[in-house]
Structure 1
């Protein structure tokens, strides 16, 4: 039996920020496609090098950090990111791109439209949804509470659930008149905790809902590239980032947008907030922080060619994740330098 390190290495990485690479690599076909579908129903292997697998998404449950990535790997840390171990039971080797938690309840999404659910703070997982008829990956998920949630992905894929993920319904969000793209990829869904939801998307668009995800409006930021990440800080500033280091910020729930001042030239893959600070990471060692609500960012120091994919906040530390696996927590302190 092949190890998970030996299997499926040629298929494209399917997290939102890696979509360009996926398009260059092309989707698997023929026998390779059959092998890829097989991993959907194969449980993730417990291996000693799991923390070195590509990690593509992370969440803080309030009691532990949970990170997900290649080959169905799900990692847990109970000490602020200093050490990780694998979840006890994961029913798939499909690549997982994102994870979110509400209390003890967690959901992870990924390749083949997979949705996994955990009821025990990430220790064990069950399969709620998959679709082997089309490799239409899910890139991001967000829950309002333990019953009402969403998942978004390739070709405007938008799913919603009102029963904690027991059932998922596909919802079509129509593009607006005059838009050139008909099925923009939805990269990252996030909320402000006060009723507004946002989706980072292609062609400089951000989608917004002010009614709990029932209806959506496309907002133009003035940018024409792809956004792959986003967050809302404690002051309500909406910050999105993506291609070529571009970061845009809105102080009025997306009504108007301005371009942030940033030294970054490489694509932004993840953005997170802690108190008054906003952190961003990206390709080729990009690490940034903002202390003015996203209006400007400064470098936290270049870190070689590491392609960062996600980050977690743990006290005064930032825990980075990359295509090389889990990074060491970095103390940023109150000065964020």
Structure 2
């Protein structure tokens, strides 16, 4: 009897303790990122972008670092969340957005020195549910077809990551992510609208990348998914894809739109995505990042390769890296240097003048 009574009392104490812990628990959306520049700079970072004369890198635990000397030194800045960040983009020298897990969208108006949260997964679910009910009430057949997707999105909570962000100007922007997760803002991020039923993606493939080319907006994703934003219809229409593997990124070179992804596959189009040409690469591993470099462009791979395109468009040369790592993203620090983010933080790589002149 004593043992049973002790066990019962112990169970009650354990449940009370668990309840107290649960009540005190705060998730990454409620906890600011811890500031430790040395740790953040040397550990995994997932994306880097140019912001005027500055560079901004983002990564796990809400880490954001800023460099104002072409990547020679970095300073971690305060961030209101500790969610893992996946992508960062700037529309001009000061205004930028970072996105990531838990449906987080962050905004800066001072070149990355300070950040505010504009959206998270909880808010996104509430917005999606409200917008869906309104669209159905107005007779949208496309919205009705998305009922299961919207229901799952709302029920599963703030667990859908955004994987890329792109603003066309300071007001209009798009964020895309896992399982067809996509939103648009037309007021600089103050309010957002879901795009679930405005995307030709019936299998709800992941959406990995956004880019503009010749004034048109494109998206790329899982299993060769390529999309074009039809502004008149307010709809992402599917494009015939040259490849059935995943595309992880898009890059506008000015002359062409480059799509890159799984197993070193790179394709280019110069006619509004009507036709694509395959560009051979010396990389068997996935291409995950791209950046313009003067009159050229560079791509990086998960295997630690830096690829510089040849002037005639026929392929790429591998550029030796001073300290290669598993890359995740790349940006131009100058016309002759790149800053890459990856498994061991950020690295600046100088591209020899000769290497560029020989192209």
- Could you state the TM-score of these two structures normalised by the residue count of structure 1? 0.82
Distance in 2 between the 1:295 and 1:36 partners? 55
- Partner SS state of residue 50, structure 1: helix
2:184 pairs with 1:160: yes
- Gaps spanning 5+ residues in structure 1: where? 1-32
Q: If each structure's helix is expressed as a fraction of its own residues, which one has the higher value? A: 2
Query: How far has the Cα of 1:191 moved from its partner?
Result: 1.1
The alignment status of 1:215 with 2:235, answered yes or no, reads: yes
**Among candidates 108, 119, 122, match of residue 112 of structure 2:** 122
Provide closer, same or farther for how the CA distance between residues 127 and 216 of structure 1 changes in structure 2, counting only shifts above 3 A.
Answer: same
Q: Shift of the alpha carbon at 1:63?
A: 2.1
**Corresponding pairs, count:** 299
Residue of structure 2 in register with 1:67 after alignment: 57
Find 1:139's aligned residue among 159, 163, 169: 163
Deviation at 1:303, TM superposition (A): 7.3
Greater Rg over alpha carbons, structure: 2
Choose the corresponding residue for 1:92, options 61, 77, 81: 81
The 2-side partners of 1:199 and 1:239 are apart by 12
Change in Cα spacing, 1:251 to 1:94, as seen in structure 2 (3 Å) is: same
C-alpha deviation, 1:126, in angstroms: 0.9
* Superimposed CA distance per residue, residues 45-90 of structure 1 (whole angstroms, 9 cap, x where no aligned partner): 1113110121111111112011111110101010111111112x21
Deviates more, 1:292-301 or 1:152-161: 292-301
1:15-47 Cα offsets, whole Å, 9 max, x none, are: xxxxxxxxxxxxxxxxxx999971221101111
RMSD of Structure 2 on Structure 1 (CA): 2.4
Which residue does the alignment assign to 1:150? 174
Aligned equivalent of 1:282: 301
> Structure 2 CA distance, aligned partners of 1:35 and 1:213?
47
Q: In structure 1, how many angstroms separate the alpha carbons of the residues matched to 2:282 and 2:309?
A: 12
Contact 2:52–2:111 (CA<8 Å) still a contact in 1? no
Classify 1:119/1:293 alpha carbon distance in 2 versus 1 (closer, same or farther; 3 Å).
farther
Question: Aligned partners of 1:327, 1:34: CA distance in 2, in Å?
Answer: 42
Q: CA deviation at 1:173?
A: 4.8
Indicate the residue corresponding to 1:80 in structure 2.
Answer: 70
Task: Tell me how far apart the structure 2 counterparts of residues 234 and 326 of structure 1 sit (CA, whole Å).
Answer: 27
For residue 182 of structure 1, give the secondary structure of its aligned residue in structure 2: coil
> Matches of 2:85 and 2:24 in 1, distance apart?
17
Question: Partner of 2:34 in structure 1?
Answer: 45
Rate the CA distance shift 1:36–1:69 in 2: closer, same or farther, 3 A. farther
| Deviations 1:93-117, CA, capped at 9 Å, x for gaps | 1001111112311111000110011
For 1:181-330, list aligned pairs within 5 A: 182-192=203-213, 194-209=214-229, 211=231, 214-235=234-255, 237-292=256-311, 294-301=313-320, 306-315=325-334, 316-330=336-350
From the superposition, tell whether residues 38 and 245 of structure 1 become closer, same or farther in structure 2 (CA, over 3 Å).
same
CA distance in 2, matches of 1:36, 1:323: 29
Q: Unpaired segments of 5 or more residues in structure 2? A: 1-21, 123-156
SS in 2 for 1:112: helix
Distance in 1 between residues matched to 2:73 and 2:242, nearest whole Å: 42
TM-score of the aligned structures, taking structure 2 as reference length: 0.77
Secondary structure in 2 matching 1:191? strand
